């Protein structure tokens, strides 16, 4: 496994693989790797001859500097995990490499129809930062395929639309959310939970499953379902941030044409903000007279 921190030598290596006709898979991460990330890496190996992983804590996508400072950085441990997975290259650029003239002077990319709704409404600039850094990483690595987890559902939607709109020749492969045995979605932020908070955290996934079961049972009073879900979260000591029930394809409110919905939720637990989602197949009856607001 090569570890490369600069753009030029990585491009030289990519060019060599291209000349050899190698298919390249890419997994962009911010490090502090867990089994969810490693699942993406293993899926990447199934899709290509060469696997490139990046670790870069992107300051452009943090709307609060405290969150940027607190984000776990475990490069030595991450490198060991990726070495064990036998990836081909670990790309570890610094902020100076990615933004040599500073973020304020850097070209930015925004996906207007998806960046400022839902999660984007409460985290201004977050998805612009995501789209910008992913676009730049795509231009550096030039992969044939890139893999992203479905846990960050809106992020995946933003990247899919960016790739489509910019006609990038990259196949985006979504990978289902990887969960702990108790249902908690794996996240780098989970390590910041206290013992007590960690015991309560699975209630988020449990609440999503309950809302899903209610929808499958025929309920389409979505605004009431959201209120009921918030009550369950508060009862367990979690502070609800947002719960949305949306069309899984457009992220717009559910309509009579919606065949698959997604429940998107975020909560605050101590100093940590957790997100999760769950998709639900809908029948025609469930989309009639539906409402969320």
| Residue 155 in marked binding region | yes
Joined together, the tokens standing for residue 188 give 């780098």
| Residue 259 in marked binding region | no
CA distance 49 to 44: 9
| Residue 186 in marked binding region | yes
| Residue 257 in marked binding region | no
Judge contact between 91 and 54, C-beta under 8 A.
yes
| Residue 183 in marked binding region | no
Instruction: Spot the catalytic one: 37, 83, 106, 126.
Output: 37
Please write down the long-range contacts of 206-213, taking CB distance under 8 Å and 24 or more positions apart.
206/232, 207/232, 207/233, 207/265, 208/263, 208/265, 208/276, 208/277, 208/278, 209/183, 209/278, 211/243, 211/245, 211/263, 211/278, 212/263, 212/278, 212/280
| Residue 289 in marked binding region | no
| Residue 101 in marked binding region | no
**249 noted as active-site residue:** no
| Residue 32 in marked binding region | yes
Distances (CA, A) of 152 to 74, 78, 107, 109, 156: 21, 20, 24, 19, 6
Residue 87 has, within 13 A of its CA and on its CB side, a CA count of: 29
Contacts of 261 by beta carbon, 8 Å cutoff, 6+ apart:
215, 245, 246, 247, 248, 254, 279, 280, 282
CA distance 282 to 195: 37
| Residue 76 in marked binding region | no
| Residue 34 in marked binding region | yes
Please provide the size of the chain in residues. 293
| Residue 150 in marked binding region | yes
| Residue 279 in marked binding region | no
Rg (C-alpha) for the chain, rounded Å, is 20
| Residue 78 in marked binding region | no
| Residue 223 in marked binding region | no
Binding residues for beta-alanine: 61
Q: Which residues are annotated as a binding site?
A: 30-37, 61, 149-152, 155, 178, 186-189
Binding site residue list for ATP: 30-37, 149-152, 178, 186-189
* Residues identified as active-site: 37
Q: Which segments are annotated as binding site for (R)-pantoate?
A: 61, 155
């Amino acid at each position: 496994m090569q570890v490369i921190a600069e753009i030029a030598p990585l491009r030289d290596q990519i060019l060599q693989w291209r000349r050899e006709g190698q298919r390249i898979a890419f997994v962009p991460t911010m490090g502090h790797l867990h089994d969810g990330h490693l699942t993406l890496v293993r899926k990447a190996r199934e899709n290509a001859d060469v696997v490139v992983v990046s670790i870069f804590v992107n300051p452009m996508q943090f709307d609060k500097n405290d969150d940027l400072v607190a984000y776990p950085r475990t490069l030595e441990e991450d490198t060991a995990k990726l070495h064990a997975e036998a990836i081909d290259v670990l790309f570890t650029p610094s902020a100076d490499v990615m933004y040599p003239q500073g973020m304020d002077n850097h070209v930015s990319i925004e996906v207007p129809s998806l960046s400022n709704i839902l999660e984007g409404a409460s985290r201004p600039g977050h998805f612009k930062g995501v789209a910008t850094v992913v676009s730049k990483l795509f231009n550096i690595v030039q992969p044939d395929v890139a893999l992203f987890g479905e846990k960050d559902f809106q992020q995946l939607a933003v990247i899919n639309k960016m790739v489509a709109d910019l006609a990038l020749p990259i196949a985006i492969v979504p990978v289902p959310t990887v969960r702990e045995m108790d249902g908690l979605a794996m996240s780098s932020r989970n390590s910041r939970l206290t013992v007590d908070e960690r015991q309560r955290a699975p209630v988020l996934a449990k609440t999503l499953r309950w809302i899903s079961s209610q929808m499958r049972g025929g309920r389409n009073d979505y605004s009431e379902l959201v209120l009921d879900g918030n009550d369950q979260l508060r009862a367990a000591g979690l502070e609800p941030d947002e719960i949305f029930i949306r069309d899984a394809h457009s992220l717009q409110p559910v309509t009579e044409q919606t065949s698959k919905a997604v429940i998107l939720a975020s909560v605050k637990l101590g100093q940590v903000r957790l997100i999760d989602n769950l998709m639900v197949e809908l029948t025609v009856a469930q989309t009639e007279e539906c409402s969320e607001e």
